[in-house]
Structure 1
Amino acid sequence: MILPSNPCSAFSTDELLYAGLKNNDDRAYACLYAQTFRSFAHYVQTNQGTMEHAQDAFQQGIAEFYVAVKSGRYQLSPSARLKSVLFEFCKRKWINELQSARHRRTQTLEVYVDQQEENLSDELMTFSENVNKVNRLLERMGANCQRVIDLFYIQGKPLVEIARLMNYTPQTARTKRYECTEQLKKLFWGKSQLNY
């Protein structure tokens, strides 16, 4: 899908933008990305993070924000701009990651590098269009993967807490999150059979 050059042109007010989010309008999510990501990336990069960290935290934050909007847990407030609310969702994800990192400071960390360049705008649009598909794929995955993905991406729990809840070591929880996320991505793009 090709993003419009100005995805916010259809949303002159936060009320219209919120309605677009509720109705799965791709332009609404593209607009929030355009309004929020640059400042959030700057925040992460000035708080012990990299652009890759910012991309990860932003994806997690907007996923949680999407669920909150669709479920009604988040209602439009006249006192808060939507871009500010999304920024806070993403900021909380980054703070959780920093706190989790402090707990594993003395451990050897495996670093996973995704070799494919990912276009965040495309991923944002894909996410908003395919939530039902993602939910169906999750149902086909093993119970442990379902739980790890739910705890980390939906409930926003840090890896240390996930490790405790699932009786894993922190490194095992991190590895399992990576493996399950990669498996979901491969299933989504039709590149893999279920392995977990």
Structure 2
Amino acid sequence: MPVKDAQTEKLIKDTAMRIFFVEGNIHAKTQEIADAAGVNRGLIYYYFKNRDHLFDVVFTEAMSVVQNRIKELFFSSKLEFREKMGQFIEFFIDNNLKYPYLEIFLITEVNVGHHVPHQEKAQITKLTASIEGELKEEIRKGSVPQMSARQFIINMISLCVYPILSKPLLKELMQLDEKGYLALVKDRKQLILKVLFRD
């Protein structure tokens, strides 16, 4: 049995992540992934057993980037609440631009009866609890309208993600080329903060 090579394994993972979450070909077959990576299809089975396992590995890896940033900002950082939100919004938009089909995949999976992984739900529960206290203080100061932490999180996610989920529609309706679309999304980073927080 050949020795596993970390570079080949990474090449397959990176290729699969690009095909699934950048190009949006979530139902890509192992042969398509192998061809794109320039490897024999047998290597995918050697490193990952099957296509579903490969998918799980790259999905977990993509989500762990978001989880790690949440941990850094909301569970370790001493930044002011608004600054935390500003940094997270910038990261979240950039990450969704990098993997524009990741959120669509999540929504599709839940719609067909699959469940959000336990660690994802636990992370959101912990994040909601973490935000609750800081949000109450912002509400007390008049910086944020009265609302629950859940509503605040939904507002933030919606404002960040919708323009990326609806990219083809927005580009057509607003007659934007790729450069114009990216400029529009970039402008939203500060605009979202102004919507969430009263100046």
Query: How does the TM-score come out when normalised to structure 1?
Result: 0.33
Higher helix share: 2
Query: How does the TM-score come out when normalised to structure 2?
Result: 0.33
Q: Which has the larger radius of gyration?
A: 2
